[in-house]
Amino acid sequence: SQQGEEDPQALSIQEGENATMNCSYKTSINNLQWYRQNSGRGLVHLILIRSNEREKHSGRLRVTLDTSKKSSSLLITASRAADTASYLCATDLPYQLTFGKGTKLSVIP
Amino acid sequence: DGGITQSPKYLFRKEGQNVTLSCEQNLNHDAMYWYRQDPGQGLRLIYYSQIVNDFQKGDIAEGYSVSREKKESFPLTVTSAQKNPTAFYLCASSSGVVIAEAFFGQGTRLTVV
């Protein structure tokens, strides 16, 4: 089954800096989603971008999608210590989502 | 409050035993899913169900079984046939065939002792 792969695997930044993480996938999609996972917890949906969209914003989050390159990026602006978590991209097949391993973001106060 | 509830949060199993993980949702979602997560790994799909009394195998269904007798409930049984069951298990639900958003429970951490 297709799977998104996030890059980098880990990212450490200072509070207030921006964080960018990338996701690549293998086959065509209807939409791509980003989720956050705090350590030992369930996933929380952040944002969805459809295949006919190129960019989407939600608060401090900005997501881009390039279907020609089969890639997406998630930008978190003005990071906070509370943003420390893993961020996973998910691509859809009918009836299911497939996830990458995630980017582990550490925001240092 | 609407949401999805998994229980228990922690579960210990002796080798050779079957254990059942509970997943309940009150979001009126038709679709429910079980994922397994190992340290440093992504989520792998075990089983999914699009409608009551119907479910499909995911990528790693061997050693697991499910039932979907009610819309709200999708329990997962980890059988003794599962060779390496120690993992973090996540249940999710969504509406629609094209998944707009999946809602996740808080997970069950299963440890074989």
Task: Report d(CA B88, CA B14) in Å as an integer.
Answer: 16
pLDDT in tens, B67-87: 999 999 999 999 999 989 999
| A82 backbone dihedrals φ, ψ, rounded to 5° | -70, -10
Which residues of chain A are at the B interface, by a Cβ-Cβ cutoff of 8 Å? 1, 3, 30-31, 33, 35, 40-45, 48, 88, 90, 92, 94-102
Percentages (nearest 5) of helix, strand, coil residues in chain B: 0, 50, 50
- Whether A7 shows a pLDDT value over 80: the answer reads yes
Collect all residues with Cβ–Cβ distance below 8 Å to B89 and sequence separation of at least 6: B6, B21, B34, B35, B36, B37, B46, B76, B107, B108, B109, B110
Confidence of residue B97 (pLDDT cuts 50, 70, 90): low
Task: Give residue B61's pLDDT.
Answer: 97
High-pLDDT (> 90) share of chain B, %: 83
Query: Nearest CA of chain B to the CA of A14: how many Å?
Result: 23
Task: Report d(CA A20, CA A35) in Å as an integer.
Answer: 14
Task: Give residue B98's pLDDT.
Answer: 65
Classified as helix, coil or strand, B97 is: coil
